[in-house]
Amino acid sequence: MYINPERTERVLSLGLLCMVAAFVLKLFGIPWTYAFFGLWSLAVLIYWRGARSKVSTVGKAVLVTGCDTGIGHSLALRLDQLGFRVFACCAYADERSAGTQALRRNGSQRLHVLQLDFNDDLQILEVYVRVTRLLARGEKLWALVNCEGTCWTHDAGQCLNINMYEKLCDYILLRTATIVRMFLPLVMHARGRIVTIGCTYRELSSWREDQHYLVSNSMFEDFDKCLRKQLKHRGVNVCRIELLSPNTSESHQDHWTPTWGKDITRSGCIFDQVVRNRGETDVSEVVEAHAKAVTDVFPLNRYFSSIPC
């Protein structure tokens, strides 16, 4: 089990406060050791109970992008099971899409499948209008979850292809920023949260053919940090799901499906592509990390999860 460093830091911070309090109690004749361990145990117990508490799903809605397949698809169904009203945005929301049919078949009446092409500003506006109309009286848009992405690979000779940088930075950063800008007033009104997804740099640093994604991912991470600072006083939490791979060897590069020469901005999460290429279907750990970011009363800035690759 992966221990979240943010929770560890908070527990140690409680220990420092209890240490100071124990020195104060020592002045009143209470042994320092008993005071320190007693206070720290009580503080950790209270913190742990608070960390495990969940928000009520009544009157709350969640918008999830990239729900055609994989992580976004499973997450939409999971949040629907928890009781949220779910707006599942798919790039191909017609009846012929297998992912769309599965969402409508397996979801409840609270799950709404919406057409959303990340590259179409008009569709983003149309989704906003539909969401505001579908929200029932008293309901609020609690969370905006971004599971949208793109998959690619290329040979080392393409590492300085400027067109690739432009497309990935536009798709990963600017398109997401457009979605956030559109729905941010609704999330701020609910004092909810924004959830994004990415890989840790140390997991990607062993790949020799990932320069484009590293640049765009670093920009996206800084965007999250700035957004988190700006929205903190508004009561909005910005959470990031960091995906860790158990294997950090150079063989990672063989797990990506070549798409060079095709439309780089086609829909589909890059991590979903890794899962499919490895023949894995279980993304429950990643989905649960997203669900915790949405439902925790006191959410963390980062949640870590493994991907089967």
pLDDT higher than 50, residue 216: yes
State the average pLDDT for the chain. Answer: 77
Strands 85-90 and 111-115: parallel
Q: Which two tokens stand for residue 58?
A: 């009544």
Q: What is the mean pLDDT of residues 1-30?
A: 85
Taking only the tens place, the pLDDT of each residue in 286-306 is: 888 899 999 999 888 888 887
Q: How far apart are CA 65 and CA 176, in angstroms?
A: 10
Q: Please state at what angle helix 211-231 crosses helix 162-169, rounded to 10 degrees.
A: 30
Q: Is the pLDDT of residue 85 over 60?
A: yes
* Three-class DSSP labels, the chain: CCCCHHHHHHHHHHHHHHHHHHHHHHCCCCCHHHHHHHHHHHHHHHHHHHHHCECCCCCEEEEEECCCCHHHHHHHHHHHHHCCEEEEEECCCCCCCHHHHHHHHHCCCCEEEEECCCCCHHHHHHHHHHHHHHCCCCCEEEEEEECCCCCCCCCHHHCCCHHHHHHHHHHHHHHHHHHHHHHHHHHHHHCCEEEEEEECHHHHCCCCCCHHHHHHHHHHHHHHHHHHHHHHHHCCEEEEEEEECCCCCHHHHHHCCCCCCCCCCCCCCHHHHHHHHCCCCCCHHHHHHHHHHHHECCCCCEEEEECCC
Query: Which of 123-132, 154-163, 211-220, 296-305 has the highest mean predicted lDDT (pLDDT)?
Result: 123-132
Q: Please tell me the distance from the alpha carbon of residue 85 to that of residue 107, in angstroms, as a whole number.
A: 10
Across the range 175-185, mean pLDDT stands at: 87
The predicted pLDDT at position 233 comes to 87
Q: How far is CA 188 from the centre of its chain?
A: 18
| Per-residue confidence (pLDDT) for residue 223, from 0 to 100 | 82
Condensed to tens digits (0 to 9), the pLDDT of residues 200-212 reads 554 444 444 456 5
Q: Which of 14-18, 215-219, 275-279 has the lowest average pLDDT?
A: 275-279
Q: b/e for 160-169, b at 16 or more Cβ within 10 A?
A: eeeebeebbb
Q: What is the mean pLDDT of residues 64-79?
A: 88
Predicted confidence band of residue 263 (pLDDT cuts 50, 70, 90) = very low
pLDDT (tens digit per residue) in 91-104: 888 767 788 888 88
Does the pTM exceed 0.95?
no
Q: 274: which residues sit within 8 A by CB, 6+ positions away?
A: 255, 256, 307, 308, 309
Q: For the chain, first and last CA: distance in Å?
A: 17
Domains of the chain, CATH where assigned = 5-52 (no CATH), 60-306 (3.40.50.720)
Arithmetic mean of pLDDT, 229-244: 87
Which residues are CB-neighbours of 192 under 8 A, at least 6 positions away? Answer: 60, 140, 141, 142, 143, 144, 236, 237
